[in-house]
Chains A and B, each alone.
Chain A
Amino acid sequence: MIEKRAPTSGQLDISFSRRTALVGGVQATIGVVVAARMGYISIFENERYKLLSESNRINLTLIPPRRGWFIDRLGKPIATNRADFRVDIIPDRLVDKDATVKTLAQLLSLNQDDVDRILKEVTEAQGFQPVEVASGLDYESFARVSVRLPDLPGVSPRQGFSRYYPSGAAVGHLLGYVGVVSAEEYKLKRDPLMITPGFKIGKDALEKAFEPQLQGKPGARRTEVTARGKIVRELSTRNDTPGKPVQLAINVDLQNFAARRLGAESGSVVVIDCLTGDIVAMVSMPCFDPNSFSEGIGRMEWEMLSKDERVPLRNKSLQGLYPPGSTLKPMVGLALMKNGVDPDETVSCGGGYRLGNRVFKCLGRHGPMNMTSAIMKSCNTYFYSMSNRIGYDAIAPVAKDLGLGQRFPLPFASQSFGTVPDSTWKMKKYGKDWSNADTLNAAIGQGYMIASPFQLAVMASRIASGLKLEPDIMLKKRKPAPHLIYPEEHLAVVRKGMDLVVNGAGTAVRSRLELDGIQMAGKTGTAQVKAIKDGFRGKSGAWKYRDHGLFVCFAPTVNPRYAASVVIEHGMGGARAAAPVAKDVLTFLFDPDKAMASLEAFEAGWGGGIQERMDRQYAAFLASRGSAP
């Protein structure tokens, strides 16, 4: 016991007064604490909390900028923006995923493939990323979803723009496509624009390469919103600044024509302007439709494309590598003359060339051949014999000079550059000495030698112009290209040989241009896919074992203006498959009506244009999978 004596009531009274005063003091202290705290928050932290209150109140919605157009050399649009109505899902605002998607599928009549894609993307999207349900909707569908919005939390219908490629598949590999930002891309930059519904970035090819220029600046809509996200009123709107257009060297009409002319074949057409090095067409078919890719492609369509043996997902012009075959012979001719071979010297072709105890065959018995006639007839014996004389190490530098095996700084992320072999290369790669047999194979564009269709077109353009053209996909002023180191007389010899291929008694006489005063010069090539043996000649049998058909050319023969390469995969021969395409493509440049007439006749026989055939293929694919389109 602290207090010894028992207290009296008087003492308790005094104690009560003292303790009440103490309680009052404690109360006052707490009051002061509250006042001080409130003062601190509202005076010293006022700025900070004002900002927080504003950011609560004001919702900044970004308006995705309209993407810059791609236009062709004449200003025609290649990629534009189409006003459309679209519906997105914001995954983290979804309440019932399956029910919502089911309702949307009903309202917008989506097929099972779309539903699968949406469910997959919603699951993978991790909340922040809008998932496109459908775009390019008509007003009725849009309105149907809009009126049901109160029952569909997480669904966002909006009016916006979507990318539109009028040429469809014809420009798929050239331009690439656009798509929503992936989780990895978002983590890199964390730009809120990237997760705005309707915003897309370039995913491949030129769309990707020119992203900074095409993107533009987003607009913004400031709205006052309640805590539940209901918009109270609109405060202000700033319009978007569309991205800048990109002008390409491409002639879009030619591009479309070439794509259509390839028909059902799997191949590539590259056309280069011999005066400037402009790439006026670069086509690889078959191709995906960039419009449907940009909308978010369905699983089935993707499966169809990725399983197609004609690889519609690969840009064959830049990524495809083929043995160039006899298309190299004019280049070899230049190398021979450079190393002192007289173009008038003849070699007698008896159907082959003996090297040691092995005979390298020619496709015919051509008799005495000089350089021009050897090019015209594509005589292997002549080139075996002459190449063996100077050796391949003397030929390889010329091949490289004309663009083979070379890298070109084109704005495409994925390109293949092929191989121009020589003794150093072989030693490094295989640790073996170069043999004479290697020289003979390389001289006719087989063996280790591989090149892309684009490189073949560059070679043709350099031979045709005599200039070291640097091809470019952009339309811009450039310094004139320097001359090649080869004298004009040498170039004239091989050009003459190429002239004779088409206009003399050569391998491609059936593809002569039917134009007044304009003729085409070219060189056919046929590249083996499988070794010739047991009677197999690459002219029949399973599609994927047939020979590739190649053709390089330029026109007119005098003062050439355009050069081109055409590669038809498994086309069985350059003269048969590639040269007729080249003929029509070059004809289009000089007489479009005539070329179109010929194309329309072809398409009637093939069962329609690109889109019609692709639609039919997709329907057939779905049917084979047992699901309705």
Chain B
Amino acid sequence: MNSIVPAPIAALPWRVILILFALVAIGTTVLYSAAGGSFQPWAGKHMLRFLVLAAITIVMSRMPLDFWKSITFPLYGVLILLLIAVEIVGFAGGGSQRWINLGFISIQPSEIMKPAIVLAAAWFFDKLPPGKINTLDAIWPIVALLVLPSFLVIIQPDFDAALAYIFCVVVVAFLAGLPIIYFWAGGAAIAVLAPIVFFFGLRPYQQDRVLIFINPEKDPLGAGYHITQSKIAIGSGGIFGKGFGNGTQSHLDYLPEGHTDFIFATMAEEWGLMGGIVILFLYYLLMRWGLTVAMQSRTRYGQLVAAGLTCTIFFYMMINLLMVVGFAPVAGLPLPFVSHGGSSMLTMMICIGIIMSIERHPGARRGQLT
């Protein structure tokens, strides 16, 4: 160990901090350009938010694994109550509401529920005796765990959040070792149910999103506008882009949400395919880090939480990128660490902080003394 660097600083998880810093720096640069060459109103806040949250993750990484285990269910329970509270406040206010304003900070419980549900699922599979993994006892509690918050966000209505919960829980359940046949059966059920849900379960604006995703030219000025303009931004950028500050799609407002959901298109217009590949490579490093932490963790809880949270981040990334390149319907999910937006950054950094904590506390193998 280098003696010049103090031990506490050298002990920080520098690998992941550098990856994140690179992503946030790219995000800041793009936001700076999107604001017409200004740190106001997005870029400065974005960087500042990251630095504050990064400090918090360092603190989180110091927490032992048992701390997370111990707060798992209280957190889950509080979030369920908050989701109900949001519903009541929204009902009383006469409109849909997703935030609870605590005065100094607005909390979006459906967002924080994403890492929380991973913790809850991991906690359950940790507690479940290994021999029972193939029995019905492994199924119903996890379904109950999933259905309650999903129902609460769907009536908001926030279909995207419910989808994220399902994805996270399914991934954790898969990694926990549920029989593979369940997942085949689930896939088959979706194939059958999807059309039924589409016609009877979705609201018209949600149906539109799907239809327009299939054929964006159908409605070039309406909902298909986003996808079309995003493809124009990426396509016109070419290999090396139009150059920093020269993106016309974003600067002249043709690209909607160019600083949030469609920031990847804003970036690609100015930096081209090369910029995109750099971001994808950084994500690759991030995912590899997360899954490596999971593999190296020696507790079942740690394994499942680290892998599950990595996949939570991956879910955001996947949906956003597939949407931006025109492979998925328009959904309101930002690009992790790059898009401007506080509540999603908070969720992402909670995930990172907990994974860091697992990296720091790999724990003892089962049967060993800690």
A interface residue numbers (CB < 8 A to B): 1-3, 6-9, 11-13, 15-17, 19-20, 23-24, 27-28, 30-31, 33-35, 37-39, 41-43, 45-46, 48-50, 52-54, 56-57, 224-228, 232
Contacts and interface: CB of A to CB of B under 8 A. Distances in A.
25 contacts: A6-B132, A7-B131, A9-B366, A11-B130, A11-B177, A16-B175, A19-B175, A20-B175, A20-B294, A20-B307, A30-B322, A35-B276, A38-B325, A41-B234, A42-B235, A42-B239, A42-B272, A48-B235, A49-B236, A52-B235, A53-B233, A53-B248, A57-B248, A225-B252, A232-B252
Given A12-B176, A20-B291, A56-B248, 8 more contacts: A16-B300, A20-B303, A31-B280, A34-B321, A39-B273, A41-B234, A53-B254, A56-B249
B283 interface: yes
A228 B131 CA distance: 63
B65 interface: no
B21 to A, nearest CB: 21
B104 to A, nearest CB: 36
Contact of B287 (A1, A24, A45): A24
B295 A7 contact: no
Interface of B: 130-134, 171, 174-177, 179-181, 229, 231-239, 248-249, 252-254, 268-269, 272-273, 276-277, 280, 283-284, 287-288, 291, 294-295, 300, 303-304, 307, 311, 314, 318, 321-322, 325-327, 366
A49 B248 contact: no
Nearest to B238: A46
Closest 10 pairs (CB-CB, A-B): A49-B235, A6-B131, A53-B236, A227-B253, A9-B130, A41-B235, A49-B236, A37-B325, A226-B252, A15-B177
Contacts of A38: 234, 268, 273, 276, 325
Contact of A16 (B287, B303, B327): B303
Given A12-B176, A53-B232, A33 B253 contact: no
A60 to B, nearest CB: 15
Contacts of B288: 24
Given A7-B177, A45-B235, A56-B254, A20 B249 contact: no
A52 B229 CA distance: 9
Nearest to B318: A30
Contacts of B180: 2
A6 B287 contact: no
Contacts of A49: 231-232, 234-236
B268 A42 contact: yes
A48 B237 CA distance: 11
A53 B249 contact: yes
A44 to B, nearest CB: 9
Nearest to A43: B239
Nearest to B321: A34
A189 to B, nearest CB: 24
B232 A52 contact: yes
Contacts of A42: 234-235, 237-239, 268, 272-273, 276
Contact of A50 (B131, B235, B294): B235
A37 B231 CA distance: 10
A15 B174 CA distance: 10
B131 A8 contact: yes
A19 B232 contact: no
